[in-house]
Amino acid sequence: MCGRTACTLAPDEVSRASSYRNRGGQRRQPRWRDGDADKYRPSYNKSPQSMSPVLLSQRHFDKEAPVDECVLASMRWGLVPAWFKENDPSKMQYSTSNCRSESLLSKKSYKDPLTKGQRCVILADGFYEWQKVEKDKQPFFIYFPQSEGPSQGKKEDQDDPTTSARNKENSEEVEAPGEWTGWKLLTMAGVFDCWTPPDGGEPLYSYSIITVNASQNLQSIHHRMPAILDGEDEVRKWLDFGEVKSLDALKLLQSKNTLTFHPVSSIVNNSRNNSPECLQPVDPNSKKKPKPTASSKMMTSWLSSSAPLKRKGSDTRESKDKQENDAETEPKSTGALQQWLQGAKKKPRTK
């Protein structure tokens, strides 16, 4: 299963991190749907019912768009079927944050969007999973291995907010200035749907993360894992609902032994905790610091930076019990990507 994720990038950084090559071989940077960049909030500790960045084909919104054009959207985690009759999504009697790959064609909530080609890719720094240890549970943060260090030699125009994708969100898809050199985002396969309240109101786009049997290296933590799309080719095939039919797309949903992980503090157990400490590697069996891996050393370096960027407000859950409590605090750090995003004299991004 997958019940908690982290996504610490600002909207323009998500766009840069999810750049891809079109059929002509040009690297493109997807724009955000109008208004969706403002619906997304970076967070170290995202839970179901929050809004997350999702990559999908632009043809879902514009049938005349090029077949290989992608767009970013903010969608609610926890699929609300188009046929749901209540006016309040929280009245759903079952959880749809995850859907088993084995059940995609047998459960109406997922079969309908799948047969309509409503496939998407959920983006995140990584996800959390809990390992049962006797009477306790040890949380782990799971993510793509990070083989290269952050690039500090960015060109000035790439750091200038006036040329960022954030300020081009109302323009056509733009060509990316180059390869993304920061944290490699996790790309998880999902299905989405669009629900409109029966009494009228703004349509709600929501998604479910597809899960498969855990890969060999993750089985000791949990028996299920998100269906990972590894590489641009798999992402392209999953999103190309016109060329790649549903049954062929389902073949991409395999257990892949491509992820790495490290144990983290139990503070992540409470979704209201939203700080860099959620991602910090710990040694559950010792008070000493754990022996660092290449990826965890990179993350520790980013988390300990002393000059974080100013971010948008943190993610806020949309459930009733959350509304009755204080909203999550704004991240005081830029997350796992902060070191390469900031320069010694770089000014904070502004909206």
Residue environment code for 279-288, b if the CB has 16+ CB neighbours within 10 A, otherwise e: bbbbeeeeee
129 in catalytic set: yes
Catalytic residue, from 2, 7, 70, 120: name it.
Answer: 2
- Cα–Cα distances (Å) from 106 to 99, 111, 114, in that order, read 11, 7, 11
Distance CA 64, CA 68 (A): 11
Our answer to whether residue 169 is catalytic in this structure is: no
Chain-centroid distance of CA 288 in Å reads 31
Q: List, as own/partner pairs, every contact residues 295-302 make where C-beta atoms lie below 8 angstroms and the sequence separation is at least 24, other chains included.
A: 295/143, 295/145, 295/146, 295/260, 295/262, 296/262, 298/146, 298/149, 298/150, 299/146, 299/336, 301/339, 302/150, 302/183, 302/334, 302/335, 302/336, 302/337, 302/338, 302/339, 302/340
CB 47 within 8 A of CB 314: no
Structure tokens at 324: 């009755």
Q: Out of 13, 69, 129, 169, which one is annotated catalytic? A: 129
Minimal CA–CA distance to 204: which of 215, 191, 192? 192
Active-site residue list: 2, 129
